[in-house]
Amino acid sequence: MCWLIPKIFRKKGSILAESDPMKKFLVVGLGNIGEKYAGTRHNIGFQVLNALSDQKEVAFKPEKLGDVAEVKIKGKSVLCLKPSTYMNLSGKAVKYWMEKEKIPLSNVLIITDDINLPYGSIRLKAKGSDGGHNGLQDIQDKIQTTAYHRFRFGIGDDFSKGGQTEYVLGKWSEEESALLKERLRRSIALIESFVHAGAKNTMNTFNNT
């Protein structure tokens, strides 16, 4: 009967069993739901979290405003979220789960694609503008700050004038796909570092690698 104990003491409605706010993290992978968008450049946030959940052998389950999974990293509880709101309305899901799980802003990490970085480049930033990314714009509108951590995964800008939408919503090229597995492993390592070593150390170790 010992397996019942965590459920008995878990706060009603909470996904995470952890009660200490500083040991709770929210990692959000941005993307669009549906088979139409699966495996596209714009959905790299979903792909990173899928790779993390596979490595940790946990499954996502549907909850309000998105699919969620809990993973443990160095004794800390991480709620992984794939919003079901579509990219441009991601802020609603981020705000809801921050408040529901009482996760401090300093422990929130948003994973997004970035056309301003070469393919496969990864960079952690502690704050900044939305850079024209509608998902990031909606997040900052909903949480009323630009001072949140974002993990930018470079998808490159190999498109002609007027071709940005088709490019970001397109599938990875054969060459990109061949390199993606290693880049996903590196992305998981960045997330783990963010959780247990902090943002500053993670930026020093991973930015532009």
Q: Residue 185 is part of a domain; what is its CATH number?
A: 3.40.50.1470
**Active-site residue 196, yes or no?**
no
- pLDDT for the residue 7: 40
pTM of the predicted structure, to 2 decimals: 0.92
- 18 CB contacts (<8 Å, ≥6 apart)? 24, 76, 77
Could you give the CA distance from residue 22 to residue 25 in angstroms, rounded to a whole number? Answer: 8
Residue 7 lies in a domain: no
- pLDDT for the residue 12: 55
Q: Which domain does 149 fall in, by range? A: 26-206
**Residue with token string 């301003």:** 116
- pLDDT for the residue 129: 84
**What is the number of structural domains in the chain?**
1
- pLDDT for the residue 209: 76
**Residue with token string 């470079």:** 154
Consecutive 10-residue averages of pLDDT for the chain (209 residues) = 39 81 96 95 98 98 97 96 96 97 97 96 92 90 96 95 94 96 98 97 92
Residue 134 lies in a domain: yes
Residue 1 lies in a domain: no
